[in-house]
Amino acid sequence: MDQDLAQKLLEKTKSNFNRIASEFSHTRRYLWPELVNLFRGYIKYGESVLDIGCGNGRLLDLYIGMIVNYVGIDNSEKQIEVAIKRYPNRVFLTGDALNLPFSENYFDKVFSIAVLHEIPSSELREKFLQEAKRVLKDNGLIFLTVWDLRNRKLLSLKYSFLRLIKRSGLDKGDVFIRWGREVERYYHVFGEKEIRKLVKEAGFDIIEMGVAKKEKSKKANIYLIAKKSSLSL
């Protein structure tokens, strides 16, 4: 993907979330129980945690009753406003996931819940993972989820046709999904093979990976837990 287009899509995503922040937060009040169950065995008291693309701060459901040095960061000012209202005693920052305002080897855990699929172009997705790795301590863990949209066959056919006639400028797997009548949200449709390759090439050792399906729903997330090797450069 052309990087000028990628930057425009990033700005569009930020603008979209500022427009729908309140409504979006209402539909994302809690972290999926399926993900809580998957991740809870990895968390520890007193650890330092970075929540990239924190939205309304719902990741804190994972740490109920625990002492933890939590920082949430999101590029949407309106989402951060919602998070601060929900959790006034926690730290939330407006910032760029591609240029994190933290020193190297700072956090024990980095979470990225439903964020990576909103980052356009393989180059920027690689940069996102490199930044996450930079701020992680040696042997620190990263927790990633992306929507499992592989069953959206009509979406795939539509955007495959646009790419074929060279009108969209999008990469394979890129789609748009409507939120209401006015907002179209960019997504990259990941398969397990693609995200596994991306994470390994970024210098992580994969510990666990799979698909988490929401109970009584067709919705599903691909999830991945990986470790920053102490030998990683």
* pLDDT tens-digit map of 135-180: 999 999 999 999 998 765 555 555 554 555 455 688 888 888 888 8
Residue ranges with strand state E in the chain: 48-52, 69-74, 91-94, 107-113, 136-147, 174-179, 183-188, 204-213, 220-228
pLDDT of res. 163: 54
The helix (run of H) or strand (run of E) holding residue 120 is none
| Mean pLDDT of all residues in 114-124 | 96
Determine the Cα–Cα distance for residues 186 and 76; give it in Å rounded to an integer. Answer: 15
CATH architecture of 3-150+189-228: 3-Layer(aba) Sandwich (3.40)
| Mean pLDDT of all residues in 195-200 | 96
| Mean pLDDT of all residues in 195-215 | 94
Indicate the domain borders of the chain. 3-150+189-228
Q: Measuring CA to CA, how many Å separate 51 from each of 8, 41, 43, 118, 150?
A: 24, 18, 13, 15, 26
| Mean pLDDT of all residues in 42-64 | 95
pLDDT of res. 165: 47
Task: Give 211's pLDDT tier (boundaries 50, 70, 90).
Answer: very high
Task: Give 198's pLDDT tier (boundaries 50, 70, 90).
Answer: very high
Single pTM value for the model: 0.91
Q: Specify whether the CB–CB gap between 53 and 74 falls below 8 A.
A: yes
Flag whether pLDDT at 26 surpasses 70.
yes
Average model confidence (pLDDT) for the chain? 90
pLDDT of res. 53: 97
Flag whether pLDDT at 215 surpasses 80.
no
pLDDT of res. 176: 85
